């Protein structure tokens, strides 16, 4: 089986500092992997590198067997949902935020119906009336789940999650775990939360930009 993601001896320098050094690993469809390590160990940099946001100084990243270039990075971005610690919703209201991607040419004409919006919200323990709220009046935990709901509405199957349960209560966390129990979804995450780590089938440990342990 072709790995969905392959890092081959990847090194990345940013601001005259090595942030990733000789990283190699593969991620297969359906895997739920978590990157662990201290702050500054390079966890988030791996996610950003995969999205083409850091230039490689050595090695190569492959997506579905193709090296990372202008075309493959578009392919990665079109099938990937990236949810950071404090996601940017990019619109004034929650409804506009959920519908934002459908204004872009890549998703135009696929705008979800009201019932689909509500269903996506409810899967993540969010009430339907949150649609009317202003984006800057909701909590970080709600923002994270709205960003996840946006990924679900777009039908994304690769999720890059950076501390996505950091601001969630127990019930919301369970809802997120439920969503990612779907074997069709591939997850590469960054987490310190023991609950999240225990639900991942693979733990990749990093230290000072180096991969030191990869346990399945």
Partner 1 sequence: MKTLDIALPQMALLYGLCVLPWLLLWLIGLRLSRDIAVSILRMSIQLMLVGIYLKMLFHLNNPWFNGLWILMMLLVADWSILQRAGLKARYFFLATFTAIASSILFTTAYLVILVIQPAHFYDARYLVPLAGMILGNCLQGNVIALERFYSALRKSENEYVTFLLLGASRWEAVRPYFRLAVKAAINPTIAGMATMGLVSLPGMMTGQILGGSEPWLAVKYQIAIMICIFTGTTAACIINLKLSLAIAFNPFDVLKEEIIDKH
Instruction: By CB under 8 A, name the binding residues for partner 1.
Output: 51-53, 55, 69-70, 73, 77-78, 80-82, 84, 87-90, 100-101, 103-107, 150, 154
Nearer to partner 1 by Cβ, of 102 and 207: the residue is 102
Least spacing, CB of residue 113 vs partner 1, in Å:
19
- The nearer residue to partner 1, 106 or 128, going by C-beta atoms, is 106
Shortest CB 100 distance to partner 1, Å = 6
| Residue 139 Cβ vs partner 1, minimum distance, rounded to whole Å | 18
CB 190 within 8 A of CB 35: yes
Q: Closest CB to partner 1 among 104 and 115?
A: 104
What does the alpha-carbon distance between residue 215 and residue 203 come to, in Å, rounded to a whole number?
A: 5
Angle between helices 114-123 and 140-153 (to 10 degrees): 130
Q: Please spell the DSSP secondary structure of 6-36, one letter per residue.
A: EEEEEEEEETTEEEEEEEEEEE-TT-EEEEE
In the block, residue with structure tokens 């369970």: 174
Q: Least distance to partner 1 from the beta carbon of 47, Å?
A: 11
Beta bridge partners of 60: 8
Q: Which is nearer to partner 1, 64 or 107 (CB)?
A: 107
Closest CA to 141 of 199, 99, 85: 85
């Amino acid at each position: 089986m072709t790995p969905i993601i392959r890092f081959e001896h990847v090194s990345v320098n940013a601001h005259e500092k090595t942030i990733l050094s000789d990283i190699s690993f593969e991620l297969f469809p359906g895997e739920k992997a978590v990157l662990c390590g201290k702050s500054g160990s390079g966890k988030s940099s791996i996610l950003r590198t995969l999205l083409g946001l850091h230039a490689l100084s050595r090695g190569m990243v492959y997506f579905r067997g193709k090296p990372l270039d202008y075309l493959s990075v578009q392919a990665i971005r079109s099938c990937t949902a990236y949810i950071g610690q404090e996601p940017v919703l990019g619109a004034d209201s929650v409804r506009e935020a959920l519908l934002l991607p459908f204004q872009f040419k890549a998703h135009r004409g696929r705008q979800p119906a009201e019932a689909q919006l509500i269903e996506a919200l409810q899967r993540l323990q969010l009430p339907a009336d949150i649609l009317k709220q202003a984006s800057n009046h909701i909590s970080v935990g709600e923002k994270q789940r709205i960003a996840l709901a946006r990924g679900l509405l777009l039908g994304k199957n690769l999720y890059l999650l950076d501390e996505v349960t950091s601001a969630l209560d127990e019930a919301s966390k369970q809802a997120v775990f439920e969503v990612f129990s779907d074997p069709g979804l591939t997850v590469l995450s960054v987490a310190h939360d023991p609950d999240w780590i225990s639900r991942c089938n693979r733990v990749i440990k990093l230290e000072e930009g180096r991969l030191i342990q990869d346990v399945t």
